[in-house]
Each structure stands twice: as C-alpha cells, then as structure tokens.
Amino acid sequence: MNEQLRADGSLRHLITLENLPRPLIERLLDRAQSLVRPLGARPPVSRALAGRTVANLFTEPSTRTRVSFELAAKRLGAEVVNLEVQLSSRVKGESMLDTVFTLQSLHIDALVIRDAEPGVPGTVAAHVAPHVSVLSAGEAHVGHPTQGLLDALTIRQHKPNFEKLSIAVVGDIRHSRVARSAFHVLRALGVADLRIVAPPALMPEPGEFPGCARHTTLESGLKDADVVMMLRIQTERIAQADLPDAARYYASYGLTSERLALARPDAIVMHPQPMNRGIEIASEVADGPRSVIRDQVRNGIAVRMAVLNEVLAGRSAG
C-alpha cells in the first residue's frame, strides 16, 4: 500500500506525503513540536543518532534546506557528509545507482536527496538495502515532504482545527512541489476548504489537486482565508503565464496589505523562501505582524529532526 512504511507501520522512507496515514503525520508533528525552541533559546541536542551517518546529496552546495538537514542530523549526534551530485536518472542511468550503492557500502544510514528530475528518490528507495532510508529534500515539481510537514506544523501552531480552515495556496501551482506536498498533508489533516490561486497558464492539470477550488484572481481566492501560502515564482514562468513582466505579475498576484485585508483578520501568511519581494509578496506583508515565515524555518529543522529520528532511531542495531 505505502512503500514508505515498514511492516510495523513505522516510517522508513519519506519521499511523498501522499497517502501517508494521518496518525503517522500527527506523530511526526507532535515530535517536531516537542523539539521547537523559541528564537534565542538553545536548540535541543541529543546523541540519539550517535554512530549513524547521513549523506546529503544535493545538486548545489549551499541551499538552506541542506543546512537545515545537516544541522538536524548533527544535533541528533549523527555524522553528516555533503556531496554535490546530479543523480538524474536520464543522464547517467545505472551510474546513479552505483553512486548510491557506494554510499550504502560506506555504511551510510540515510540519503537526503534533492534532484531536479522526477522519480529519482523513489528509484533510489526501490534499490537500497533494507537498513537504508531515503528522504526527499525536494523532487522536481513532485514533492517536498519535509516542507509540507513544516507548513502543517506552522499552521497547527496558530490554527489547530484543520477541519474548519480555509487555506489559499497562491502562485505557480503547476510547477510547485511545495503546493503538492501542502495539498497532500493538509488533505490528510482534514482541511476541507483548500483553494489554489494562479494565473490560468500556471494552473495544474485538471485531474490534479482534486476537490480544491480554483481561482484565477487573487481577490476571490483570498476571501475569508485563514491561511495564505504564497509560492515563489520563477521569473521565467512569468512570461509563460502570459504576463508581460514581474511588475504585472505583482499587480495581479502579489500579496499586498490591501489584498491581505480580504482574508480573515487573523489570517497568517506563509512562504517557503527564498522570496521575491515585490514580485509575489510585498515586503510590508513578508515582514508584517501576520507573517509566520521565519517560524517556518525554525519549524523546518524540528521537523527534520523528527523525521530523521523516526526513520533511523527506531531501527534495530544490526
């Protein structure tokens, strides 16, 4: 049913949030919540993963997601190695798996993979030895499961009754792994009113995001929303959306204070970062009182600690 789970129901891989059981999601969120500390406090540190090794396989050296995973692993006592690799299966074929088997033979316990090509984490997970876990850190447009979990945790901290929430996801839904993972986790947690807001050309295929209301104007999409999740727009997508330039995108889809006033008075504003200020979001909103964007980052490391602990610490010693 769900190839990410072990026979005992515990999590082995985390590649997608689709079809993940709600109790497991809630257990991960609960554990992450217990690891959250206020800004300025010491982060939790343990030796729970002492003797374990986590490899970060990223296509670029300096992503913030890489640092978040790296610190999550180190603060649990694991060793971490960073590799810049292109695992793209199309280009390298079996050499992708040879790289993975090499790391496995070096007694690496978890592979954290970011790759621009869809399917790579799943292919790797299908081939590794039983003791190795694969965690997606962003897979093409397909998914970004720890981002989805941190988004859910951030919402829960402010608005714990998911069933009653109206949540608007705004931007380039079509190409967004963040939107897809949010959809999966928020559906599992019972969100009924989940809206996607995008220019027509950046809407997903008709069969995707079932049950979500589709809005092509920001004004209609934001109405009475409890949560506004903004997405990053790639500049090359703006032309694709039949908009002449960034200024025009901002005029139509940028989140300003005025537009935010259409949402509920206590609505929260989220963004996965990095932000294009003045394109998809106004600085006054990004830095304003309803922004929880920095909380998302802080929650992200807690979520990654919870996930690493779940997939690694529960295992028998071998």
Give the binding site for its own copies (CB under 8 A).
Answer: 37, 39-43, 45, 50-51, 53, 55, 61-62, 64, 67-68, 70-71, 74-75, 79, 81, 83-85, 93-95, 98-99, 101-108, 129-131, 273-275, 277, 283, 294-295, 297-298, 300-301, 317-318
Q: How far is the CB of 37 from its own copies (least distance, A)?
A: 7
Q: How far is the CB of 75 from its own copies (least distance, A)?
A: 7
Q: Which is nearer to its own copies, 7 or 317 (CB)?
A: 317
Q: Which is nearer to its own copies, 254 or 300 (CB)?
A: 300
10 Å Cβ neighbour count for 205? 7
Q: How far is the CB of 51 from its own copies (least distance, A)?
A: 5
* Closest-CA residue to 209 (of 191, 227, 235, 228): 191
Q: How far is the CB of 77 from its own copies (least distance, A)?
A: 11
CA–CA separation, 207 and 218 (whole Å): 22
Do residues 238 and 246 lie in contact, with contact meaning Cβ atoms separated by under 8 Å?
yes
Q: How far is the CB of 85 from its own copies (least distance, A)?
A: 6
Q: How far is the CB of 318 from its own copies (least distance, A)?
A: 4
Do residues 230 and 267 lie in contact, with contact meaning Cβ atoms separated by under 8 Å?
no
Q: Which is nearer to its own copies, 85 or 267 (CB)?
A: 85
Q: Which is nearer to its own copies, 164 or 294 (CB)?
A: 294
Q: Which is nearer to its own copies, 40 or 244 (CB)?
A: 40
Helices 22-35 and 177-188: angle between axes, nearest 10 degrees: 110
Q: How far is the CB of 251 from its own copies (least distance, A)?
A: 20
Q: Which is nearer to its own copies, 84 or 219 (CB)?
A: 84
Angle among Cα 156, 216, 237 to the nearest 5 degrees reads 90
Q: How far is the CB of 79 from its own copies (least distance, A)?
A: 5
Q: Which is nearer to its own copies, 117 or 295 (CB)?
A: 295
Q: Which is nearer to its own copies, 156 or 174 (CB)?
A: 156
Query: In which residue are the tokens 């995973």 written?
Result: 69
Q: Which is nearer to its own copies, 61 or 265 (CB)?
A: 61
Who's near 164: CB < 8 A, 6+ residues apart?
Answer: none
10 Å Cβ neighbour count for 67? 13
Q: How far is the CB of 65 from its own copies (least distance, A)?
A: 10
Query: Cis (ω within 30 of 0) for the bond into 210?
Result: no
